[in-house]
Structure 1
């Protein structure tokens, strides 16, 4: 598309000279010129054309001089509209005034047309650079808007409130996700499979940002579909089905670590499958802590034929379980220290976490501890926790 240039000059031969000088650029549709005899006409041409991006204006003109016209142009506050002022060599005071009022450049009379061509070419390059920057800015804003929508969609997929039937079943539960970027790859879920069995899980996609968020959404949906189904498949069988589905056409080579649990709320028996995830912490009613026993679990998406195994353990009334992603234990501060699993265990054994009663208090206290530990350092990974207190039925 041709750059439209407005030439403002009361000398009639200026139009002819410009058309002759730039005949090749005009023919090649690089430049297109619009002409006016003074500032008043020039303002009219600006309104009529609408897409003029460069002005070549004399300073001394009848009706409305070039300096007044320049002030009117600046009122439009168009960063892509640049002005080159033309004046006699001895009229440097006016040229200084023009530059102070926002003129991009100037040429002197008598006009050296080689210099004029170079000046216009340089100004056009600057305008095109600004246009590219503006386009990039608009694209960035669009991306940010899309990411905000993506975050809303992603967060809407995670349960925000605990259904009443979980509390009635004798379980106090709370979970949260704090992404490192606008969107992240961590996930969690919980729901009553039936009146006696609570399903809950946590997971972590290997990547960050939008790709991880998309994979997280798929993973969350498949787990929900499988474990909402009341067929006779065991916990291990269902995890195997999820693994097979996620492994299909995994061209991005992502993987998901997960810890998947089913609690019998009547007996306190908890069955779990470890798919390469961080070991949850158990806080017993007497204040002692221990870790879930891990047994060679592999992350999902590595091997569609992998045979997962499950383990069982017993929860007594008052026992608490803390599931978390590695954004908790791998959190770093400015010196490079790692929060670590030992700090997390100590936090619930002798630290502030030991004074927490509810699952929500446990999560909020842990997050506060993490924020204080990280300090001014940047959170580099998603932080997700699911805490559960077994009350017994």
Structure 2
């Protein structure tokens, strides 16, 4: 079945140019193009045909402009991806369009090679989103089968260590202890390319199957955004936009996402409302990492997310965790606390990562002896080994 693209532009020659440029894909039924001459006509076509995948729209048009069209697209189909076309240098309108949910933009006069690249990139993102939604629907269908959902969730998280035995520049280890059969925390790590390692830890609001569903969607969207080579802040901004497009304001997720540059030890990161990780220095020091001050994901779709950078020296590391660690309580109702965690990390800083992670988890369990675990406990530790 071909991907269906709606092109919205009031220039009469554009339809002929598009059909000519993509004649091979049209003939081989890879693409099917539909055309409209203004935003109102486009809305009518979208309402009549729910199989349209992408909208490519000019901004300046009669009857209804492209920005107004963008604001209405999500009401019809939140999965639709929109690419806007604007005059070169019209950054104000382009910025407005991106804030209203546009996935990407092109400038006039249209470069059809750039058009094709943008189209393919958008289709790849759309495919990833549909896979995430399919995963969500599959999980929703087995809400009563918590034991099955548990195995699905555990299979989503990387559990083979060392994960990249051929890579000697870094070491990484992680573990999650869910509070119920299915939890809302997750961690992940993946090679973006030969020189960059992406790593993430996150905590979804709520517990049980709904949190696990949201976790699966969030993780898939983040990994897809990261694969596009975006900065840490741009990545979380893209994921936030997609989560907000889903419209489920009852849930949100805190996320810390970092990118280790394996050749230099440089780390760029963005913190979306998550607990600040600890920076573990090779000399034994442990201190919270400076936050970027960004908001949790899934509440406000027009938020911008920043990126900060640090450099790890050989032997330095990062310790990421969720609030199930520091907010674990003992029989007297006292928290495990950030202070206790910091002291523990200073004492075990030079230990292998497996011992650091398991040592923290064991200490939290010992601290909370006799008290039911009320939140997921998730920990990820990373160490830079050499330049």
**Same-fold status (TM-score > 0.5):** yes
Residue 87 of structure 2 is matched in structure 1 by: none
Residue 191 (structure 1) shift: 1.0
Q: Relative to structure 1, is the Cα distance of residues 261 and 183 closer, same or farther in structure 2, using a 3 angstrom cutoff?
A: same
Does structure 1 retain, via aligned residues, the 8 Å contact 2:280–2:318?
Answer: yes
Contact 1:203–1:277 (8 Å) recurs in 2:
yes
Instruction: State yes or no: 1:273 paired with 2:267.
Output: no
Deviations 1:255-311 (A, max 9, x none): 100000001111111000010000101111000111110132100012111011110
Change in CA separation of 1:164 and 1:217 when aligned onto 2, cut-off 3 Å: closer
Match of 2:371 among 372, 377, 392: 377
Name the CA shift for 1:384/1:164 in 2 (closer, same or farther; >3 Å). closer
Q: 1:285 aligns with which of 282, 286, 292?
A: 282
State the secondary structure of the residue aligned to 2:148: helix
**Counterparts in 2 of 1:187-336, with a 5 A limit?**
187-230=186-229, 233-336=230-333
Normalising by structure 1, we get a TM-score of 0.60
2 CA distance for matches of 1:296 and 1:276?
A: 7
SS in 1 for 2:197: strand
Q: C-alpha separation between the residues in 1 aligned to 2:265 and 2:253?
A: 28
How big is the shift at 1:169? Answer: 4.2
Distance 2:311 2:194 in 1: 19
Change (3 A) 1:252 1:305: closer
In 1: Cα distance, 2:275 partner to 2:154 partner: 22
Give the conservation status (yes or no) of the 8 Å contact 1:318–1:389. Answer: yes
Matching residue of 1:177? 176
Distance 2:385 2:302 in 1: 38
> For the Cα contact (< 8 Å) 2:143–2:209, is it kept in 1?
no
Deviation at 1:163, TM superposition (A): 5.9
Judge conservation of contact 2:322–2:379 (CA < 8 Å) in 1: yes
Work out the CA distance in 2 between the residues paired with 1:329 and 1:344.
7
- With over 3 angstroms needed to count, the CA separation of the structure-2 counterparts of 1:183 and 1:225, relative to structure 1, is same
Query: What is the count of residue pairs matched by the alignment?
Result: 246
In structure 2, the residue corresponding to 1:172 is in which secondary structure? strand
**Cα separation, 1, equivalents of 2:225 and 2:334:** 40
**For residues 390 and 167 of structure 1, do their structure 2 counterparts lie closer, same or farther at Cα, with a shift above 3 Å needed?**
farther
Structure 1 residue ranges (4+ consecutive) displaced by more than 6 angstroms after TM superposition: none
Unaligned runs of 5+ in 2: 1-141
SS at match of 1:274: strand
Residues 20-77 of structure 1 show CA distances to partners (whole Å, capped at 9, x for unaligned) of xxxxxxxxxxxxxxxxxxxxxxxxxxxxxxxxxxxxxxxxxxxxxxxxxxxxxxxxxx
Judging changes above 3 Å, is the alpha-carbon distance between structure 1 residues 272 and 340 closer, same or farther for their aligned structure 2 residues? Answer: same
Matches within 5 A, 1:352-363: 353-354=348-349, 357-363=351-357
Tell me the equivalent position of 2:380.
386
Q: Distance in 2 between matches of 1:275 and 1:310?
A: 11
Q: 1:297 aligns to what SS in structure 2?
A: coil
C-alpha RMSD of the superposition? 1.7
Task: State the 1:198 CA deviation.
Answer: 0.6
Partner Cα distance (2:156, 2:284) in 1: 34
SS of 1:290 mapped into structure 2:
strand
User: Quick one: structure 1 residues 144 and 192, their matched pair in 2 at CA, closer, same or farther if it must change by over 3 Å?
Assistant: closer
